[in-house]
């Protein structure tokens, strides 16, 4: 197989995997936030751990100072290929929780965005073009 054909094959395999898993995803618990159903990060992580054995979800502090933090999360397949990213930003003291736990809150936000960009806990499914962007490191797939 040529490299381009192999890349398209891998993308199609991942899309098929997400669509197959998506049939079970409608069972994820949601909470109502301003009239919209939202899948909590906790539910996304549980789903990810149950259905994507061998995949990794990691995070790194990319910026921190006395007023806030930025954390980047990355999701990789068992071969180490980058499949999705997510960025979180929190200001220390901007809410009751952020008075003491702004770093933990930021990491949770980054994980949630990353898992959402991968397709867990959202209504839309990632298409070939968005997947290509994340694989090439040019974006996370969803804005």
Q: Which two tokens stand for residue 72?
A: 């980047």
The confidence score (pLDDT) of residue 127 equals 39
User: What pLDDT, on the 0 to 100 scale, is given for residue 137?
Assistant: 42
Model pTM above 0.75: no
**Minimum mean pLDDT among 12-21, 65-74, 86-95: which range?**
12-21
pLDDT tens digits along 18-61: 664 555 666 788 888 888 888 999 999 999 999 999 999 999 99
Decide: residue 21, CB within 10 A, 0-12 exposed, 13-18 middle, 19+ buried.
middle
């Amino acid at each position: 197989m040529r490299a381009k054909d192999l890349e398209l094959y891998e993308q199609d395999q991942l899309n098929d995997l997400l669509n197959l898993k998506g049939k079970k995803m409608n069972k994820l618990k949601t909470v109502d936030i301003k009239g919209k159903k939202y899948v909590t990060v906790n539910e996304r992580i549980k789903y990810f751990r149950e259905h994507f054995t061998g995949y990794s979800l990691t995070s790194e502090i990319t910026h921190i100072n006395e007023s806030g933090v930025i954390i980047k999360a990355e999701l990789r397949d068992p071969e180490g290929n980058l499949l999705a990213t997510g960025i979180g930003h929190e200001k220390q003291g901007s809410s009751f929780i952020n008075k003491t736990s702004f770093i933990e809150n930021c990491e949770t936000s980054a994980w949630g965005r990353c898992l959402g960009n991968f397709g867990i806990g959202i209504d839309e499914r990632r298409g070939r073009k968005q997947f290509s962007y994340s694989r090439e490191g040019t974006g996370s797939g969803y804005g």
